[in-house]
Structure 1
Amino acid sequence: MNESIIVKEYSSEYQSQIIDLILYIQQVEYNVPITIQDQPDLLNVANFYQNGIGNFWVALHGDKVVGTVALLDIHNHQAALRKMFVAKDYRGRTSNTANFLLNNAMAWAKKIDINKIYLGTTLQFVAAHRFYEKNGFQEISAEDLPKNFPIMKVDKKFYKYVV
C-alpha cells in the first residue's frame, strides 16, 4: 500500500478533509475534549503554518487525506511539530504513512535550517509517544520548552528533537 501514499504541501482543497480527519481522531478515537473552536489554526492553515520557516503537509491515498503534519515557525531556527495525525487504516508499518510524513517534515527542517523541533501531545496518544521516541525525540518537561512554544490545553507530554 505504501507506494500509493504521497505527501503534498497543503492547499485549501484539502481543508475540510483535514478538519474531519483530525477531529475524528481526537474526539472519537481518543476521547480528547477538543473542538474546532479550540483549533482555529485548522480554519486558516495557509496563514498559520505556511509562514516563515513553517509548512503543512497532507498524506494522500488517491484524493483522500489520510494523514497530516505541520511545522510551525517559533523563531530562532526552531519549529513546533503540530497536527501529526494518521487515519487508523493507514497507521503502522504496512502503509508507513507516519514515517513518510515525519521524514518529509524533517527533510524540510534540514533544508530550511531549523535546528530544534519541539512538540506537545496528550497523555492518551501512547502509540505516538513510542513513535516519536523511536524517531529520536527526547522527552522534556514543559519548563524546558522555549518561551514562544504554543502549548495547547490538552498537551501534557513534551518532546524535543535536535536536527
Structure 2
Amino acid sequence: MQIQPIQNEYENQIVDLILNIQQKEFNVPITLEDQPDLQDIANFYYKPGGIFLGAFIDEKLVGTIALVKFNAKAGAIRKMFVKKEFRGKEFNIAQQLLEQLVKYSEENGIKDLYLGTVTILQAALRFYERNNFVTIPKETLPVDFPLMKPDNVFCHLKLNP
C-alpha cells in the first residue's frame, strides 16, 4: 500500500470511492453537488495550506483523507473514507492515512484538528476515539469551522506542541 498526496487528476476515482460509500453503503443523503470541493481539490484543500491524501493498492485508490486548513492554527479533517473490503486492522489503511495527516498538520503549524461526521458512522467514531479525539458540542467549534450539512457529531484533537 502506498499513500501519496493527490489532486484533481484523480477526481473520477475520488468521486467514485466517496459517493459509493456515502450513498450506497450508508444511505447518507448527499450528492456530488453538495460537495463542490471534490471537483476542485487544488483550490479547496491545497491553496489554503491543506492536503488531500490517497491510499493506493495495485495503483487503485482504496482510501482518502483530507485536511482543510481553516485558520493559521486549525484544520478540519474531511473525506476520510476506505473501501469496505480494505477496512480493518489487517490493512490498517485508515490508521496510516490519519497518521500521515497528523504528521503533515504538525509540520505545518496546526495545533488543533476538528472533524464532523454523522451518528450512523459508529465505527468511524470509535476509530477517532481510539486516536484520542474527544467528542465536543457543535456550539464549541471554532466560528470559522467549515460545517457540512449532514454532520451532527463533532470531534477535536489537540496536537502536540
CA contact (8 A) 2:8 2:39 kept: no
Amino acid across the alignment from 1:49: Y
Q: What SS does the corresponding residue of 2:33 show, helix, strand or coil? A: helix
* Alignment match of 1:73 (pick from 65, 69, 94): 69
* Alignment match of 1:97 (pick from 90, 93, 96): 93
Give me the TM-score of the superposition, normalised by structure 2. Answer: 0.97
The 1-side partners of 2:127 and 2:56 are apart by 20
The 2-side partners of 1:73 and 1:65 are apart by 23
- Number of residue pairs aligned between Structure 1 and Structure 2: 159
Runs of 4+, deviation exceeding 2 Å: none
* Alignment match of 2:142 (pick from 146, 156, 161): 146
> Is 1:134 matched with 2:139?
no
CA contact (8 A) 2:69 2:75 kept: yes
Give me the TM-score of the superposition, normalised by structure 1. Answer: 0.95
CA contact (8 A) 1:86 1:98 kept: yes
CA contact (8 A) 2:8 2:40 kept: no
The 2-side partners of 1:160 and 1:96 are apart by 22
Q: What SS does the corresponding residue of 1:38 show, helix, strand or coil? A: coil
Counterpart of 1:162?
158
The 1-side partners of 2:7 and 2:44 are apart by 13
> Is 1:56 matched with 2:48?
no
CA contact (8 A) 1:59 1:65 kept: yes
- Output the aligned Cα RMSD: 0.8
Counterpart of 1:34?
30
Deviation at 1:13, TM superposition (A): 2.5
- The more displaced of 126-135 and 55-64 is 55-64
- Which runs of 5 or more structure 2 residues have no equivalent in the other structure? none
Deviation at 1:38, TM superposition (A): 0.2
CA contact (8 A) 2:72 2:109 kept: no
The 1-side partners of 2:130 and 2:74 are apart by 21
CA contact (8 A) 1:51 1:73 kept: no
Amino acid across the alignment from 1:33: P
Percent identical among aligned pairs is 45
